[in-house]
Structure formats: C-alpha cells, structure tokens
Amino acid sequence: MSAVDRCVTIVSHTFGHLRIYSLTPPKYQRYRVILIEPYESIPHYLSLKIAFRAFKYLYKPLEANIELRIRSSRFKNIAPLKLAYSVYPLSLFALPFFLANYEPNWQGLVAYIDYSGDEASIYSSAIVVRRGSRLGTQKPTAFVVIVNDPWNKLTDKRDVDTLFKLVWRFTITTLKSYLKNVMIPDSLQTPRRKFTVLVRLLPKRETEYLEIRVPEAHDVITLKIPVKSPEWSVDDIPSKLREDLLTIVIRPLIQKANYAPRGVLIVGPPGVGKTVTAEAIASALNLRIAEIRPSLYRSMWYGMTEKFLEYTLKTLKRRHDIVVLLDDVDFLLGRHVSVHETHISEITILLRYLQEPQRPLVIMTTNAPELLDAAIIRPGRIDVTVVMGYPDKEMRRVIALKCAKRYGIEIDDSLLDTIVKITRWFTNAEIDALIRLAASKGEGKITEESLAWARQKFNVNERWRKSIQDQLRWFGENFQGILIKYVPKDTEVE
Ligand SMILES: Nc1ncnc2c1ncn2[C@@H]1O[C@H](COP(=O)(O)OP(=O)(O)OP(=O)(O)O)[C@@H](O)[C@H]1O
Ligand SMILES: [Mg+2]
C-alpha cells in the first residue's frame, strides 16, 4: 500500500487550474494537511531530492533560519510543475514530523515558488494544521520555501518576509474559495518564523577550467586551472582602502593607462579580508579569477614542477579576461630562505613571468611578507602593496551589518553598537563567526544575551594583536615602493 493510499483525502476541490486536497498525514493523524497543487503536478526525482534535502533540516532543527542552496545545471530545463511536487512530501511527512516533535501546538507552511520569469509565481503550497484548530488564526511556526531562482534575483535573505506574505496570501485566498468562513487578521501577515528553511534552486556555478597541455615523452599531460567569478565587490572593502584602490589600481587599469600597475601584493594577518579584497579588485575590473595553487602544478617527478609551472604561466600569458591570483603565497619561499632547488627554480620562473609585458594582472596575498623574495615586489613586477590590519570600529560595523544581512538576521543600532564594542581586535572572519554563533544561540535572533554568550567562545589576545598591528605599521613605514595602507590606529580600533 502506498503512502497516498494510507492518507485520507477528505476533499478534492478544483479552483482554476488548481486542485485543493485535504489530507491526513499517514503517521500523524492529529494533523491535517491542506495542499494546493496544479492538477498537472507530477513527481520528478529532483523534486523528491529537493524535499529530502529540506527534510534533513527539519529533522534536526539547530538554527532558526537556514538558507540552503542547491545547485544543478538542470533546474532551468525542468518544468516548474515537476519541481513543485516537492511540496507534497514536505507537507505530508516533514512538516508533521517537525510540528509533532518540536512545536506541537503550531502550524507549518510550505510552498514552491518559481522565479524564472519576471515575477515570482507560486505553483503549489500546503498548510499543516492541528485537527480542530481553525484555519488562518495562527501564524505558522515552520515555513519552508523552495524558490527556483535561476537568475539569482533574491539577493537578500530578508526577502523571506516578502515571500512569506506572498505564500500566505495565496494559500489563504485559495482556501477561502472552499472554506467560506475563513477570516485572516492582518497581524498574521508576517511569519512567526520559529524555523524557516529557504531552499534556493540555483544553476550550477560555472567554473570554467583552463586546460594546460604539457607534452611529456610520448604523452600529453593535462592540468586544469579553475577560473571563477569573484563573489565580493569593492563595496565590501573598507572605505579608506577603497578610495586608494580605485585611484591607484582600478581606474588606471580600466582606462588601460600605461602607468597602471601590473601586480598587487596584499599583506595582512589571517582573516582580515585579503582574499575578499583580491576578489573585489577582480570584480571591479569585471574579470574572472584564475587561481594558481601549488597543488595544481607541483609534482613529485624530478623537473616536472618547473615544467608544469612554465606551461601554466605560458597559457596565462595572453588571457586578458582574467586576473591571476596567487593566494596565501607563503608556499613560494624566497630564495633567501629556501634551500630546495625546485623551489628556487619556481621563483625564478615566476620572476621571469612577472616581467612579461603582455601578461594579465597578478594579485598575491600573504601573511608573511618577510618570507617573500624581495625581487617579486619590484616595480614592473608587483608594483603596489596593500597592507591590511585588524579592522577599526567603523569597518567592524560594516562587516557585522553585512553578515547579519547575509544570514537574514535583524539587528538594530543598539545591538550593532554592542557588536562593535565586544569585537575589539577581532578579524573580519571572527566577526562573521560571532554573528553566526549568536544567531544559533538565539534561534535566528541576536540579542544582548546571545551575543555575550557567543563572545565568550572567542579567545582574542589583544596585546598580541596590537603588536601585530604595530609591526604592520612598521612594515608600511619602511616599505620601499607604492603602498596602500589600511592599518587603523589603536584608538580607532578600541
Ligand atoms: N568586508 C567584509 N565584509 C564582510 N565579511 C567579510 C569582509 N571581509 C572578510 N569577511 C569575512 O571574513 C572571512 C575571511 O576573509 P578573507 O578570506 O578575505 O581573509 P584572508 O585575509 O584572506 O584570510 P587568510 O589569510 O586566512 O587567507 C570571509 O570569508 C568573510 O566571511
Ligand atoms: Mg585568504
């Protein structure tokens, strides 16, 4: 006997091209599921897979607001009617399970929204209520929304509120057509949102590979260098740094001026946004990023490492649609500290490459500039050095706001003040982690208490960091060459 046979269908009602079912979940007889579905809705294995992925989060709810991104190259080609079927298993199994175990007195709402056209359209939705409770008198506690968003239109997780209103209005208006006496107070137009799972169906991120063919004896070995689009933009970097970067690096490069820099080195302690800054530069230049990692070209065979690197760089010589990124370049030990013959050859090859007049922009990042070969940072090779230190109060505020927005968490000014105060000498990465931790503790909301709790999980040695900041300042003052500096003073940090 299939699960469908075991449910009791009370009503099947048609409404335009929709059908309304009232079902009893097989295992949870105390609940009633009212499902609105287009008649042509058909199961597809992907719709079941999506439902299963979302179910996993309802099965063990840890955080209040989850954003789940599922990427596939197929979403665009599958009819929404097929994907909309995912609402069925979620409403019949997952939501009743969640309610019975975690929120027995509340109700749940689930919907499938297609956002591949100009406007978001709801294909199917379902509401799970306790038997005997009146429809539309209570805000749902669990809200699962599956959005097919091939053009990435949902940029802000706070859009969930808008989606909720849309689904809520659609569901209730449709239901009214068959339950004549439903009245919905306006206060129910925002979710109680104890637990929201936003499932976004996105196209697979296109990572292109640059194929590098290296002839070897009678064979050809192919290396693959991933090329990706930057995820951060110049708006994400500290404003003090942004101005200088625009003037010294970005604008001259856009104008293809002959005085434009040809390489940028970004120096700073772990987690202060070096990789973010590198991506932001690429994004401002509208270029993609080819990252060269030692794992891609280093070989255990004698002489092969050099050969692989030479061929890689040769392939990257005339690509003007990319930026070459050497992230955490500490693997390239300078000749003054290196004893390994292969590593010395690597540097020599790289120095020669950096000298090439036609090559694309090269960006390097490092924690330990003293380990780099001095010849790298020479005008004509890497012309501009950016030093980044621990963020000041203003930047910490920007980062906290940005992170909260990314996770769909609301924070008011007074909470923001607290965050700025308690994250003295934090790195950008630690601020991000603090926000996530506090949100987990507060089940999706950040409060003074959850912040205080989260803060205790971090061990930040202020004296140590102050001295790193001093060293960075010293590095900046003694640096020979073009320098862009973001090293806030102690008073700006504290
Ligand atoms: N401007 C920013 N706004 C919001 N979050 C940021 C910002 N900069 C950095 N972060 C957060 O900090 C994390 C670490 O940043 P990033 O990877 O750029 O650091 P890094 O300096 O390259 O560190 P490492 O030396 O360890 O490679 C990011 O993943 C992001 O979560
Ligand atoms: Mg990094």
d(CA 331, CA 347): 11
> For ligand 1, atom 26, which residue shows the shortest CA distance?
270
Asked if residue 270 has its Cβ within 6 Å of ligand 1, the reply is: yes
Indicate which ligand has the atom closest to the C-alpha of 427: 1
Given a cut of 70, whether residue 188 has pLDDT beyond it is no
Given a cut of 60, whether residue 5 has pLDDT beyond it is no
Q: What's the CA-to-centroid distance between 472 and ligand 1, angstroms?
A: 18
Asked if residue 430 has its Cβ within 6 Å of ligand 1, the reply is: no
In CATH, 393-460 is 1.10.8: yes
| pLDDT given at position 371 | 81
Task: Give the model's confidence band at 75: pLDDT under 50 very low, under 70 low, under 90 confident, else very high.
Answer: confident
Indicate which ligand has the atom closest to the C-alpha of 429: 1
d(CA 52, CA 430): 32
Whether the CB-CB separation of 254 and 354 falls below 8 Å is answered with: no
**Probe ligand 1: pick from 392, 432, 486, 487, max atoms within 8 Å of CB?**
432
Looking at this protein, which amino acid is placed at residue 324?
Answer: V
What distance lies between CA 483 and its chain's CA centroid?
A: 31
Given a cut of 80, whether residue 193 has pLDDT beyond it is no
d(CA 95, CA 5): 19
Burial of 256 (0-12, 13-18, 19+ CB in 10 A): exposed
Closest CA to 174 of 132, 125, 128, 106: 125
Average pLDDT, the chain: 87
Phi first, then psi, for residue 377 (nearest 5°) are -85, 70
Q: What average pLDDT score do residues 225-234 get?
A: 89
Q: What's the CA-to-centroid distance between 275 and ligand 1, angstroms?
A: 6
Asked if residue 274 has its Cβ within 6 Å of ligand 1, the reply is: yes
Other Cβ atoms closer than 10 A to 266: 25
Task: Give the model's confidence band at 428: pLDDT under 50 very low, under 70 low, under 90 confident, else very high.
Answer: very high
> For ligand 1, atom 23, which residue shows the shortest CA distance?
271
pLDDT, tens digit (0-9, with 9 covering 90-100), for 105-127: 888 999 999 988 888 899 999 99
Number of H helices and E strands in the chain, helices first, is 18, 16
Task: Give the model's confidence band at 190: pLDDT under 50 very low, under 70 low, under 90 confident, else very high.
Answer: low
> For ligand 1, atom 28, which residue shows the shortest CA distance?
429
d(CA 342, CA 338): 10
Asked if residue 366 has its Cβ within 6 Å of ligand 1, the reply is: no
pLDDT, tens digit (0-9, with 9 covering 90-100), for 451-475: 999 999 999 999 999 999 999 999 9
pTM of the shown model = 0.65
d(CA 322, CA 344): 27
DSSP 230: -
Q: What's the CA-to-centroid distance between 291 and ligand 2, angstroms?
A: 12
Name the architecture of domain 208-388+472-493. Answer: 3-Layer(aba) Sandwich (3.40)
Asked if residue 231 has its Cβ within 6 Å of ligand 1, the reply is: no
Answer left, alpha or beta for residue 322, where phi above 0 means left and psi between -120 and 50 means alpha. Answer: beta
Atom of ligand 1 nearest to the CA of 236: 1
Q: Where are the domains of the chain?
A: 3-202, 208-388+472-493, 393-460
The more confidently predicted of residues 294 and 280 is: 280
Per-range mean pLDDT, top range of 48-57, 291-300, 368-377:
48-57
| pLDDT given at position 1 | 43
Please name every residue paired with 288 in a beta bridge, in sequence order, or none if there are none.
322
| pLDDT given at position 334 | 64
